[in-house]
A = this chain, B = another copy of it.
Amino acid sequence: MQETLLEPVAKPLRLSGARRTAILKALADPRRFELLQRIARAGCPLGCAEARAALPISAATLSHHVKELETAGLIQVRREGKFHFLTLRSGVMQGLIAILSALDTDHCPQR
């Protein structure tokens, strides 16, 4: 791995089938999606307190969703003492988009 760290936009990652499914499942929950949108719009590292204020869910549930997003590799969690900060991992999203595009571009000449 070389110079990827400060890149705002990473290259599309190659995703396995299992990973693809995990990501799609993570995205398929409206609260998690909302959370991702907040993170994307936040100027970036989003504190959990802000996240919680944005979503009408308990701390336990938020923790659950954050873990799902982290496990799927969609976000990165920077843990600084008491607080956690959430950022997107953009290469993953690009990888997913690449897969979805392939579904579309193989389009048929309609019989």
Contact A107/B30 with A96-B100, A97-B101 known, Cβ cut-off 8 Å: no
A94 to B108, CA, bound (A): 16
Which chain B residue has the least Cβ–Cβ distance from A103?
A: B40
> Given the complex, which residues of B lie within 8 Å of A101, measured CB to CB?
93, 97
Is the CB–CB distance between B8 and A107 below 8 Å? yes
Q: Interface on chain A toward B: helix, strand, loop, or mixed SS?
A: helix
Interface size on A, residues (CB 8 A): 42
Which chain B residue has the least Cβ–Cβ distance from A20?
A: B33
Residue ranges of A at the interface with B (Cβ–Cβ < 8 Å): 4, 6-9, 17, 20-21, 24-25, 27-30, 33, 36-37, 40-45, 87-88, 90, 93-94, 96-97, 100-111
